[in-house]
Amino acid sequence: MVKVAITHHAHIATAIQDALNLLTMADLVAGKLVAVKPNETWASKDDTTAVTQPDTLRAVLRYLKQFHPKALVVTGGAGAGDTEEICEIVGLMEVVRAEGVGFFDHNRPPFTAIPLAYAPDREVEGLQQSVIVNPRVLEYDTLIAVNQLKVHETATVTLGLKNIAMSYPAADYYGHPRSSSKHQHHFFTDLHAFIVAMAQRFPIDLSITVGHPAMIGTGPIGGYTVETGLVIASRDPIACDTVGARLLGFSPQAVHHLWEAGRLGLGETEPSHMEFPGLTMQEAVSVFSQAAYGKDISLDHA
């Protein structure tokens, strides 16, 4: 059984600690070069709701420190702006400095090309055959994705898998935003296939998805945000994303990259094969729907 920890608390730091306490963590962190990848897609002084919040990042870093990593680095690669500038606006850089951890912008050179593989039965003509990244991302012993619980207008949801897939391609090479195509790419020819290919090549070791705030209606920027106090954490990033998608109202079949990741055996997409040591799926749905819609929406299939 795959363990997925779901917790809820008015103070997000407490919810994060409670969730991670339910997982085995020491082997992921002790003596390892650990990279923590927050969501830092875009922010302005007037709107910081689309990205990881400072108290979220602070809680994760402080929790990890107790296991004595060899090095702890916050790694970022904003898709719609300058990474460090966005992190300064939000307050993430203040956390990095206060906690005494490293910071690395993987949008910057040097660059190297990494080949990508797709499902054996998928037609790959016209898809992205390789991706340009900063080679530093290949050096991490442990990759921890810290994600916002959000819907996405083209990817359906933007959770752990998309957090990595659309951040690692170096924006200094491809352009800010990456859709500007400074150098030609095919990320959006089949976005879901690309996300799965990236998940195979750059696997996440621990995924932490936080509804502080969660974004519904539209996304990944400019949607309706609600505070839920929910945290989902798992060492299986596909399972973590599956649970996050369920809270947003989608089964894996409705999120094509999750369906394909499950089909390829990259992780678990069936809740009946998951163990929930914290909140049950049904309890989490109740908490989320009360916060998002003002009433308890029962999902018998959850």
pLDDT in tens, 208-236: 999 999 999 999 999 999 999 999 999 99
Range of the domain at 65: 26-232
Whole-number mean pLDDT of the chain? Answer: 96
Question: Residue 263 domain-assigned?
Answer: no
Task: Say if CB 87 and CB 37 are below 8 A apart.
Answer: no
In this prediction, residue 259 has a pLDDT band, given cuts at 50, 70 and 90, of: very high
Task: Say if CB 214 and CB 285 are below 8 A apart.
Answer: no
Question: Residue 302 domain-assigned?
Answer: no
Neighbouring-strand partners of residue 150:
158, 215
* Distance, CA of 175 to CA of 180 (rounded, Å): 6
pLDDT in tens, 172-206: 999 888 776 678 899 999 999 999 999 999 999 99
Task: Say if CB 95 and CB 88 are below 8 A apart.
Answer: no
Question: Residue 252 domain-assigned?
Answer: no
At 183 the pLDDT is: 85
Question: Residue 8 domain-assigned?
Answer: no
At 298 the pLDDT is: 60
At 302 the pLDDT is: 44
* Distance, CA of 273 to CA of 242 (rounded, Å): 12
Question: Residue 257 domain-assigned?
Answer: no
Flag whether pLDDT at 149 surpasses 90. yes
pLDDT in tens, 46-78: 999 999 999 999 999 999 999 999 999 999 999
Q: How many domains does the chain have?
A: 1
Task: Say if CB 74 and CB 38 are below 8 A apart.
Answer: yes
Q: Is 177 exposed, middle or buried (0-12, 13-18, 19+ CB in 10 A)?
A: middle
Place of tokens 């190297």: 112
Question: Residue 65 domain-assigned?
Answer: yes
* Distance, CA of 167 to CA of 80 (rounded, Å): 10
What letter represents residue 47's amino acid? Answer: D
At 171 the pLDDT is: 94
Contacts of 131 (CB under 8 A, 6+ apart): 113, 114, 116, 168, 169, 198, 201
Mean pLDDT, range 136-160, rounded to an integer: 98
Domain containing residue 91: CATH number = 3.40.50.11440
Mean pLDDT, range 249-275, rounded to an integer: 97
Helix (H), strand (E) at residue 259? helix 256-263
Report the share of the chain in percent with pLDDT over 70.
98
Within 9-142, residue ranges assigned H as helices are 12-21, 26-29, 54-65, 83-90, 92-99
Question: Residue 101 domain-assigned?
Answer: yes
Question: Residue 196 domain-assigned?
Answer: yes
